[in-house]
Chain A
Amino acid sequence: MSSDHKILEKIDLYTKGQMNPEERKEFETELEADPQLYRQMELSMVVDQMVIAKETLKLREQMKKDLNKPKSQLGGYLGLGLLTLVAGGALFYYVSKPTDSPNIAAVQQTNIKDTSTVKESAKIQTEDFKAPVNAKPSATNHSNTKILTENTSVEKPAHVQVPEQKDVTVNNKLTTAPVRVETPVVKDEAQIAPKPVTDLCATLQPRVEYSATPSCKGDRTGELRIDVASVKGGTAPYHFVLGGNESSSAHFEYLPSGYFELWIKDAQDCQVLGPKVYIPEKNCKVSQQYIFNPDHDHAWEIPYDKDKRPTRIVIQDKSGRVFYESMVSDFHPSEWRAESSTGQTLVMGLYFFSIEYADGTLQEGSIMITK
Chain B
Amino acid sequence: MSSKDKNREILDAIANGQNTKVLNHLYETSLPQIIKFINMNDGDEDEAKDIFQDAVVALFTTVRMGKYEAEKDVNGFLFFVSRNLWINRVKKRNKQYDISKVRLPWADDTQSPLAVVITEDKEKLIEKFMSMMGEKCKQLLKYVIYDNMNMKDIAKLMNFASESVAKNAHYRCKQKMMDLVGEDETLNNFLYNELRS
In the complex, the chain B residue whose C-beta lies closest to that of A136 is: B106
- Residue with the greatest number of chain B CB neighbours at <10 A, chosen from A45, A53, A64, A263: A53
Chain B residues contacting A297 (CB-CB under 8 Å) are none
CB atoms of A60 and B57 under 8 A apart: yes
Residues of A contacting B175 in the complex (Cβ-Cβ under 8 angstroms): 4-5, 8
A100 within 8 A of B: no
The contact size tier of chain B is: 35 or more
Q: Which residues on B sit within 8 Å (CB–CB) of A62? A: 19-20, 23
User: Which residues of chain B from 173 to 197 have a CB within 8 Å of any chain A CB?
Assistant: 174-175, 177-178, 181-182, 191-192, 195-196
Cβ-defined partner of A66 (8 Å) among B23, B61, B126: B23
Q: Which residues of A are found within 8 Å of B73, using beta-carbon distances?
A: 132-134
Q: Output the least CB separation between B16 and chain A (Å).
A: 14
Report the Cα distance A243→B103, complex, angstroms.
Answer: 8
Would you give the shortest CB distance from B123 to chain A, in whole angstroms?
A: 6
B61 touches A56 (CB 8 A): yes
**9 closest residue pairs by CB, A with B:** A133-B3, A43-B178, A5-B171, A56-B60, A132-B75, A51-B145, A56-B61, A55-B146, A52-B64
- Cβ contact within 8 Å between B23 and A59: yes
Output the nearest chain B residue to A16 by Cβ-Cβ distance: B66
Using known A-B contacts A4-B175, A8-B174, A66-B27, determine if residue A46 contacts B192 with beta carbons closer than 8 Å.
yes
Taking a contact as CB atoms under 8 Å apart, the answer to whether B178 and A47 are in contact is yes
- Report A-chain residues with C-beta under 8 Å of the C-beta of B164: 1
What residues of chain B have their CB less than 8 Å away from a CB belonging to chain A? 1, 3, 6, 19-20, 23, 27-33, 36, 40, 49, 52-53, 56-57, 60-61, 64-66, 73-76, 79, 103, 105-106, 116, 118, 122-123, 126-127, 129-130, 141-142, 145-146, 164, 167-168, 171-172, 174-175, 177-178, 181-182, 191-192, 195-196
Nearest Cβ distance between residue B33 and chain A, in whole angstroms? 6
- Answer whether A1 and B182 are a contact pair too, CB < 8 Å, given A45-B196, A60-B57, A66-B23: no
A17 to B66, alpha carbons, bound, how many Å?
A: 10
